[in-house]
Amino acid sequence: MLPLEVLEQAAAEMPDVNGTGQSAMEMSHRSADFLPIIEKTERLLREILTIPDNYSVLFLQGGAVLQFAMVPINLAGDSSGGGRKTAAYVDSGVWASKAIDEAGKYVNVRVAASSKDKNYSYIPPAPPPEAGDAYYYICYNNTIFGTRWQSPPDTGEVPLVADISSCIASEPLDVSRFALLFAGAQKNLGPAGCTVVIIRNDLLGAAPPWTPAMLRYDIHAKEKSLYNTPPCYCIYMMGLVLEWIQGMGGIDAIAGRNQRKAALLYDCLDASRLFRPPVEKPHRSLMNVTFVVNEGDAVRRAALEQRFLSEAAVQGMVNLAGHRLVGGLRASIYNAMPEEGVKSLVSFIEKFEKDLR
């Protein structure tokens, strides 16, 4: 979801933003009209996430999935010293294992921990890094299974990298604990098309010589994300979303609202006898609430889930199916989802269960 206020503002400003007589879609990316837009978006992101000065903020393309390759190439792709480097990965779900598969093309992946044994329903305890780990990689919020880290693991001097695509700006995060953070914009920051990378400056410049220019963090940092044409409209929209977060009272207010929303839904599911949230309590995501039907055989469960989805759709509640890879049900309650939206879902869940009895 995007905040309705943001969509309305974008609609009003579509033909003329900031009195320039142009849409943000039409601007030259190096023009005096666009530069204030990208600078504002970066400034707001730095304020809201409290990004220290020794980190660069990059606005890239290719989605979070391209970061699955850029991270290993830029942080550990140089094998000129002889032999491949090793990187530690925690396998906490679909996006983490996709990152593992992609990284394996460039580095030796050491899977430090995994929660695959229980269908990724928890965050595995993270063992400390080993000598030789070039970096340590986690997926902070597991969008598909609905788990999230409570706090970053302590990896000492080993750079900690996290995919925060589905939880960026949802609650405070101590950026200084990480060496690199990245997030696709489309879950919590704006429309699809832009990926935010937050990288500590001492990590820039280690990409091997064969690295395509577009995949080098140091080039994008040096050129302030204007090496080539960036996704200008998406950067403009992110600026509006970040202004909306400020207007809501900033990250602490947003986090409080997100906690209240998640608690409403988990309390309802914990009290239900028809539904069950599969994720272990301490690891539950604030953003992606997964649940399954908890009665009957597989056929009955699937039929009830289908009925739940179609009756919900009649009430205007959509996108409640679990990810195609795992099934079940999932409510993604990103920043823009109002508390009223969650309350409506809770009422619907209660009524669905009652009508069945």
Return the number of the residue (73 or 349) whose C-beta is nearest ligand PLP.
73
Contact residue for ligand PLP among 163, 218, 243, 305 (CB under 6 A): 163
CA dihedral over 39, 193, 233, 319, signed as positive or negative? negative
Return the number of the residue (78 or 163) whose C-beta is nearest ligand PLP.
163
Q: How far is the CB of 319 from ligand PLP (least distance, A)?
A: 13
285 binds ligand PLP per the rule CB under 6 A: no
Coil, strand or helix at 148:
strand
Alpha carbons 26 and 98: distance in angstroms, whole number: 35
**Residue with smallest beta-carbon separation from ligand PLP:** 63
116 is catalytic: no
184 binds ligand PLP per the rule CB under 6 A: yes
Coil, strand or helix at 192:
coil
Return the number of the residue (184 or 239) whose C-beta is nearest ligand PLP.
184
Of the residues 33, 40, 78, 187, only one is catalytic, namely 187
Alpha carbons 296 and 304: distance in angstroms, whole number: 10
Q: Which of residues 99-158 bind ligand PLP (CB under 6 A)?
A: 139, 143
Burial label, 178 (beta-carbon count in 10 A; 0-12, 13-18, 19+) = buried
95 binds ligand PLP per the rule CB under 6 A: yes
Contacts for 136 with CB less than 8 Å, ≥ 6 apart? 87, 88, 89, 90, 112, 129, 153, 155, 158, 159, 160, 161
149 is catalytic: no
Q: How far is the CB of 94 from ligand PLP (least distance, A)?
A: 8
Burial label, 120 (beta-carbon count in 10 A; 0-12, 13-18, 19+) = buried
Closest by Cα among 165, 237, 176, 230 to 3:
237
163 is catalytic: yes
Q: How far is the CB of 140 from ligand PLP (least distance, A)?
A: 8
Stretch that binds ligand PLP, among 163-171, 204-212, 276-284, 347-355 (CB under 6 A): 163-171
Q: How far is the CB of 235 from ligand PLP (least distance, A)?
A: 15
Q: Which residues bind ligand PLP (CB under 6 A)?
A: 63-65, 95, 139, 143, 163, 165-166, 184, 187
Active-site annotation, residues = 95, 163, 187
